Structure 1
């Protein structure tokens, strides 16, 4: 893919901020600025956890608290209402509608599907598998679990169905990820797609069956994005750049330790223990560590944003009547902060 530099030396500023922060010479954009970060308790949100635990947010002059959510839509609402300052999650219909109203902006990329790195899995219930749903091509007439209409799960299921020529896949909204997991394990739904740290644990425990990979249907899918309120994007440039710089440092550490494995076994162990404070924290480390390591998908360097993928997602939401036709990429994305792919 081709990388272009966005306006006003944006990524250069981020890189310089990160480098200076590492030497202790970085002058924070705003000393002790209180920031609330929305997150899910997923390995895919690890960049924020690393930036917090390793002091990168603090070095950037940000006093961070986390607010945890069960799905993407409520997080988007919290960002728009300024109950949270920054969020990291998938594009949703709610986020796009809030952007259309001038309340939210996507400002960077996070998790992305990449060939050669285990990504999101397509799962089937044991009952559906035993009935012949052994590949995504056999999903016709079946129930596919989603959190809400217009969620990333809805998008993935629709793209899979379209690629397989299936026009009767049924979507069952269950509001929370935990509820979808329960429904799949009890065969109340037939299929679902989810990040590997959850998918591999379910398959390994025999609760569900693995029938495909999302990357085979949506190559280079920008799974999650970094977003903020439109007010922050437009009027709090220093704070927003500081957040992205610290986030990018956290992502770089995560990728090195668990994706590229350049930090050795000790580095991987340290990273896994750090993430365990937030992901599967209710489980013993010995049990949780395998799932955390299994969820290590790449987080985009420098919070770079795949605009082609965002454009495809926006087009799908429009085609489904989930957002207004007049919503433009300019309404949804502020591309002044990071490189775009």
Structure 2
């Protein structure tokens, strides 16, 4: 099922909202478009492009950049892009219900012992005594869209602390950052390569970690159109193979430090072509290094975490209650864990 962008957006209207996995495709240089955010956590795709892993898998990949998760889901459904890595959102789930998209793997995950997403507050809120998530009752919490992953995370924090939050949709990550720095919103959560520099500037403060509230959270997933998942198996396997080689390189250099400092520096140089491109390398490097979180080997998918997220979206009335895991996920491509 291929949808144009208008139809894909209409379907969302009801929402508030692997190394060596396959041999290269026979038709070499198959052109595909891959969606991404300019986040360190999307480095698997960047590396696979830069080091020729997609090309070796028979794919000619063009990266297309977005500023939020839900527009990426629309682009997959409309055929504007072929594969993407992003968080689960209400829009993505609703498009899956319509037979437009499928989650086929996992990418970024929270892992104990590795700094993950941080919970931030504005300087004004911090000066007013909000130095722990338990003190956020009644405060405003920034999200890109209602039904976004930020909404899910904030709700899990509120539930655990027994508090109420006022969610403020601001559409783009940049807008959320601006609102937090200026004190227009009180709190937000974000990956460490953004959280730590913001906190270091003194404009915002870190008051907690997401993994304390959602251990083993599958932060982002790999997804594609339902048509690609069903009818383009070779291409989909080749995409996952190239992507997974990029993930392996990233984890090896940045988490396991197998190449020492030189390996880290080489990887930072590569990532800087896509992340913090408006900063000189010496200023971008600390943020890129601070953002290091493990990416799932071979795009393995934490199915328990995905189910928890789906159940929350359904319970909140953000997606249709009839949506099942079988509707959302095609588990035939990668190992499922959790």
Change in 2 beyond 3 A, CA 1:245/1:213: same
The equivalent of 2:267 in structure 1 is 271
Question: Aligned equivalents of 2:82 and 2:217: distance in 1?
Answer: 25
Q: CA RMSD in A?
A: 0.9
What are the residue-to-residue correspondences of 1:79-158 with 2, within 5 Å? 79-158=76-155
What are the residue-to-residue correspondences of 1:1-341 with 2, within 5 Å? 14-17=18-21, 27-166=24-163, 168-341=164-337
Question: Aligned equivalents of 2:278 and 2:27: distance in 1?
Answer: 35
Question: Aligned equivalents of 2:157 and 2:71: distance in 1?
Answer: 25
TM-score by length of 2: 0.93
Q: CA shift at 1:17, angstroms?
A: 4.5
Question: Aligned equivalents of 1:90 and 1:262: distance in 2?
Answer: 29
| 3-state secondary structure, aligned to 1:154 | helix
TM-score by length of 1: 0.93
Question: Aligned equivalents of 1:108 and 1:101: distance in 2?
Answer: 20
Aligned structure 1 segments of 4 or more residues deviating by more than 6 angstroms: none
Question: Aligned equivalents of 1:278 and 1:93: distance in 2?
Answer: 27
Q: Deviations over 1:279-331 (max 9, x none)?
A: 00111000000000110100000000000000000000001100000000000
Query: Number of matched residues?
Result: 320
| 8 Å CA contact 1:109, 1:300 repeated in 2 | yes
| 3-state secondary structure, aligned to 1:16 | coil
Change in 2 beyond 3 A, CA 1:17/1:99: closer
Q: CA shift at 1:60, angstroms?
A: 0.4
Q: CA shift at 1:15, angstroms?
A: 3.8
| 8 Å CA contact 1:30, 1:239 repeated in 2 | no
Question: Aligned equivalents of 2:251 and 2:58: distance in 1?
Answer: 24
Q: Deviations over 1:94-139 (max 9, x none)?
A: 0000000000000000000000011000000000011111000000
Q: Deviations over 1:183-210 (max 9, x none)?
A: 0000000000000000001001111001
Consecutive unaligned residues of structure 2, counting only runs of 5 or more, are 1-17
Q: Deviations over 1:67-116 (max 9, x none)?
A: 10010000000001110000100000000000000000000000000000
Q: CA shift at 1:29, angstroms?
A: 4.6
Question: Aligned equivalents of 1:176 and 1:271: distance in 2?
Answer: 27
